[in-house]
Structure 1
Amino acid sequence: MKQLLQKEILSVLLLLFFFYGRAQEGKVLDIIIQGNNKTKTSAILKHIYTEQGNVLDSLALERDVKRLKRLPAIAHAYYQVHNKEGGYEIVYGVEENFTIIPSANIYTTNDDEFAFRVGLYEFNLLGQNITFGGIYQNDIYSSFGANLRAPYLFGKRLGLALNYSNLTTEEPVFLENGIADYKYNNTSYEILGLYQFNFQNRIELGVNYFNEDYEYKRGVTAEGIPQDFDVNKLLFKLIYEYDNLNYDYQYVSGFKSTFNLQYVISTENVLPDFVIGWNDFLYYHRIGKKGNWASRLRMGLATNDDSPFAPFAVDNNLNIRGVGNTIDRGTGVIVLNTEYRQTLYEKDWFVLQSNVFVDGGSWRNPGGDFDDFGDSQNFRIYPGIGLRFMHKKIFNAIFRIDYGYGVTDDATNGFVFGIGQYF
C-alpha cells in the first residue's frame, strides 16, 4: 500500500513538472523592435500588450500589429516568432512614415467662392507619437489655430490634448425674410483628457472656453435679431470612439463609430444654452485586390431653438462636396457619404486612386420638427468623381480632388481640394 501511494505521488509530481515545463516553453522570452529609426522603442512598446513572461498568444500578436498600423508614425507593421530554448522570441518589425506633413484644403463653387486652409503638423514629435502643429485659413478673413495631442503621455492608456483657435469667417444667417451676412469670430481654448480602455474603445473628456463675436455686414434684418454682439461661452465635451479598422497602406476595412456630445453654456441671453450630439458611423470594405468601398453616416440633433444661429451647417468641406460654403443651417442632420475607390496605378511609393461618390443629406429647420428631414427643400444630393495622389510612406500624404454636381433643387457644383481622404 505504501509503495502504491509513493508511485501515485511520484506520478503526480512528474505530471506537474511536465505541464510546468510545457508552460515555460510556451512563454515569451524576449521582445525585439526593429525598423524604427525616429520612433522611440519605448513609444512602440506602449502599444504592445504582449509582455515577456506571457504565454504566447497569436491573437494578441495580431492585435498588437493592428494597433501599430493605426499610428501616424507607422506605415506598416508585422511580427515574427522565433523558437528559442524554453520559449519564444517575438520580433515586431515596422516601416516608418515621414511625419512632418503639410495640410491643405481648397474649395470652390460655380458662384466663384474660393477659400483655403493650409497647415503644418508633426505627427511623431520627439519620436513619441505626439502630434503638434497649426493651420492658417483664408475664407474671406484670415484665421489660425494650434494643436497639441499626446494620447500616450502618461502611459499606455492616458493622455492629453490642448487646442487653440482664432477663426474668422463670413457666415450667412437665414432669416424668414432673407439672408443676412455676418462677420463671425470664434476664439477658443480647449483641454481634453484622453483615455483608452482597450484596443477598440477610447474616450475624450474636457472643457472649451470660447468667445463668439458676430458683426452684421449686409443683407436683411429682423426684429429681435441683434446686428452686433459678443458673448463668452463654456463648452463641456465628451467623445466616445469604437475603432475596429484595419489598415493596409491605402486600403481600409472594418467599422468605426464616433459619438460626440457637447453642452454649451452662454454667459449672455443673446444666445441660449444648448446641447448638441452626433454620431459618425464609418464602414470600409475591400473589393477585390484594388477596390475599396467607404461610407460615412452622420446623425445628429441639437436643442431645437428657433434661432438663425443653428449649429449644424451644410458645407463643402464638412459634408456635401460641391454644395458651397455654409449655405444652410439646422438643429438636426442626417448625412450619408458613400464612395468607391479604385487603385488605378501603384508603383513603389506612389499610388493613383480614383473615386466615384454620392453625398446626400437633410437638415431639420431651427424650431422645426422631424418631418423637415423629408422636406425636398432641405434635401440635397451631390454625386461626383475624384482623384487621389498618394505617397505610401508619408503619413496622410493624400492629395485629393473632388468635383460634386448637385441634382436637387437650386443646386450648385464645384471642386473640393484637400489633403487626406474626405472621410
Structure 2
Amino acid sequence: MKKILTVLIFFTCFVGLSQDVLVSELQILGLKRTKESFIKKLVKVQPGSVYDSLRVATDIERLKRLPGIANAEVVVEKKQNSDYSIIYTIEENFTIIPGLNIATDNNGEFAYRVSLFEFNLFGRNQILGGFYQRDVFDSYGGYWEAPYLFTNKFGFGINYKNLVSQEPIFLENSNTINYKFDTRAFEVNLLYEFNFHHKAEIGVNISKEEYNFIEGDLPSEIPTRLSANKIAYRGEYEYNDIDIDYQYVSGLRSLLDVRFVTGGEGLLDDFFIGRNDFEYFKRVGKLGNWANRLRLAYASNDDTPFAPFAVDNQLNIRGAGNTIDRGTAAIVLNTEYRHTLYEKGWFVVQSNVFIDSGTWRNPGGELVELIDGSTLRFYPGLGIRLIHKRIFNAVFRLDYGYGIGNDATNGITFGIGQYF
C-alpha cells in the first residue's frame, strides 16, 4: 500500500496544485460474479469528484479485504482535458468454501466439524453458510451476514446455533468432571463501518443452556443439572490497518468483543465477559511474514467451575489437546514466522515456526495467577501451509506443537485458514 500511495501522491503533485483535477470516469474491470453496482456503491472514488490519491489507495485496500476479491490494482489515465480516468482491475476469489476441522473429542475418540459457506452471496459479498459438528454429540448451526445491506456503511447479520458437547470442568484436588452441555442460541447483529479503519457491531443473543452431569467425582455442592434462559448483550469494535498481498499480511489489527450475560443464577449467574485480540503482522524480506496475536480475556464469574475460557488446540495452544483446562481470565501470546517455500501461479507452499504460550486464572483463583507462572503453558512447534491464492481462505494448515514443562503434552492440529 505504501508504494501505491507514494506513486499516486507524486503523480498528483506533478499535475500541480493550482487547480482541482477531477475524476471524469471510473471503470471496474475483471468482475465475473461480483456486481459492479456493489463495487461502485462501496468505493469512495466517484465520477465528478476531485481526484485524491489517498482515496484511490484506500479503495484498493478496501477491495482487497473483501472475501470475494483476491487482488485489486489501479491504473490512472490522464485525459486531454487534464482530468483522469480511474480503472480498478479486480481479480476475484472463488468463494463457495467447504471447511473441515478434525480433532480428538473429550472421550479420546474422533471429532470433526464440516461446514459450507458462500462468501460472495448475490455478488455483494454477503456471507451465508452452516456447519455440522460431531464432538461426542451432534451440533449444527447457520449464519447470514450482509455487512453492506442497507448502505455502504450499515449492515445486518443473524445466526442460529444448536451446540451439544461433552464439556469437562476442572476442580482443585478432584478428577475431571464431565457434563453434557446443550445450548440453543439465536443472535441478531447490526454492523456499522465508521471509516476505512474503524467498524463496530452491536447485537443480542438469546439462548437456553443446560448442563447435565455425565461422570466424575462430583462434590456435593455441585449440582448434577443446571439450566438457564439467558440474554446476552454484545458489542464488538475493530480497528483494522492491514495490508494484504495474497499470502502476505502486514499491519495492525485490534478486535474487542464484550458481552453482558443476564438471566442466570447460582453457578450460571449473570456475568460480564470481555476479550481483545491485538494482531501485528510484518513482511520479512521478500518471502517471509512475521505474525503475532496477543489475546487478553476476562470474565467476572470468577468463582464458577463452568469457566468460559478453555485451553484448546484449535483456539490458542497448538499441541495442548482438546479442552485440557479452563479459566476465568487469560493472557495468550501466539507468534510465528511464515516463509514461502514454493510459489507458482495460484499455488503456494508455506512453512511455519511458532511459539504458543499463555497463562490462565483458575476458577476461584486470583488475577495474580496470570503473572506468577503457576499456570504458564509454553508450546513451540512447526507447521506447513498449502495455499490456493484465488480461493478465499483456502489455507490448509498442519501444525505440531511440543509442550515444555510439567505435565506438558504434544500433538498435531489440522484446520483450514491461518491459525490467526
TM-score range, shorter chain: over 0.9
| 1:79 corresponds to 2:70 | no
Q: CA RMSD in A?
A: 1.7
What is the TM-score normalised by the length of structure 2? 0.93
Comparing 313-322 with 263-272, which one deviates more in the overlay?
263-272
Instruction: Indicate the residue corresponding to 1:70 in structure 2.
Output: 65
One of 143, 147, 165 as aligned partner of 1:151 = 147
Instruction: Indicate the residue corresponding to 1:243 in structure 2.
Output: 240
1 CA distance for matches of 2:143 and 2:288? 34
Moved over 4 A (4+): 21-25, 108-113
Instruction: Indicate the residue corresponding to 2:36 in structure 1.
Output: 41
One of 378, 382, 398 as aligned partner of 2:379 = 382
One of 391, 396, 399 as aligned partner of 2:396 = 399
Name the larger-Rg structure: 1
| 1:260 corresponds to 2:257 | yes
Instruction: Indicate the residue corresponding to 2:46 in structure 1.
Output: 51
- Superposed CA deviations along residues 90-139 of structure 1, whole A, max 9, x for unmatched, are 11110000000011111249995532211000000010100000111111
- Superposed CA deviations along residues 310-351 of structure 1, whole A, max 9, x for unmatched, are 111111111001111111111110000000000000001100
Q: Using a 3 Å threshold, how does the CA distance of structure 1 residues 272 and 110 change in structure 2: closer, same or farther?
A: closer
Superposition deviation, residue 268 in structure 1: 3.9
- Superposed CA deviations along residues 165-217 of structure 1, whole A, max 9, x for unmatched, are 11111111112341211111111100000000000000000000011111111
Q: Using a 3 Å threshold, how does the CA distance of structure 1 residues 193 and 129 change in structure 2: closer, same or farther?
A: same
Superposition deviation, residue 267 in structure 1: 4.1
Q: Using a 3 Å threshold, how does the CA distance of structure 1 residues 406 and 108 change in structure 2: closer, same or farther?
A: farther
Give the 3-state SS of the residue equivalent to 2:61 in structure 1.
helix
Instruction: Indicate the residue corresponding to 2:8 in structure 1.
Output: none
2 CA distance for matches of 1:183 and 1:25? 67
Correspondence 1:291-310 to 2 at 5 A: 291-310=288-307
What is the one-letter code of the residue matched to 2:64? K
Which structure 1 residue ranges, 5 or more long, are not aligned?
Answer: 1-20
Aligned residue pairs: how many? 403
One of 131, 140, 144 as aligned partner of 2:136 = 140
- Superposed CA deviations along residues 249-307 of structure 1, whole A, max 9, x for unmatched, are 00000000001110000244441100011110000000011100000000111104311
What is the TM-score normalised by the length of structure 1? 0.92
Comparing 361-370 with 108-117, which one deviates more in the overlay?
108-117
Correspondence 1:313-324 to 2 at 5 A: 313-324=310-321
State, as a whole percentage, how many aligned pairs show the same letter: 53
One of 120, 123, 127 as aligned partner of 2:119 = 123
2 CA distance for matches of 1:177 and 1:294? 38
Q: Using a 3 Å threshold, how does the CA distance of structure 1 residues 293 and 113 change in structure 2: closer, same or farther?
A: farther
* Preserved contact between residue 168 and residue 323 of structure 2 (Cα < 8 Å): yes
What is the one-letter code of the residue matched to 2:210? D
Give the 3-state SS of the residue equivalent to 1:175 in structure 2.
coil
* Preserved contact between residue 109 and residue 323 of structure 1 (Cα < 8 Å): no
Instruction: Indicate the residue corresponding to 1:173 in structure 2.
Output: 169
* Preserved contact between residue 244 and residue 256 of structure 1 (Cα < 8 Å): yes
Q: Using a 3 Å threshold, how does the CA distance of structure 1 residues 107 and 375 change in structure 2: closer, same or farther?
A: farther
* Higher relative contact order, chain-length normalized (CA < 8 Å, sep 6+): 1
Comparing 276-285 with 107-116, which one deviates more in the overlay?
107-116
2 CA distance for matches of 1:375 and 1:22? 60
Give the 3-state SS of the residue equivalent to 1:72 in structure 2.
coil
2 CA distance for matches of 1:229 and 1:65? 51
2 CA distance for matches of 1:221 and 1:46? 59
1 CA distance for matches of 2:279 and 2:40? 29
* Preserved contact between residue 138 and residue 163 of structure 2 (Cα < 8 Å): yes
Instruction: Indicate the residue corresponding to 2:99 in structure 1.
Output: 103
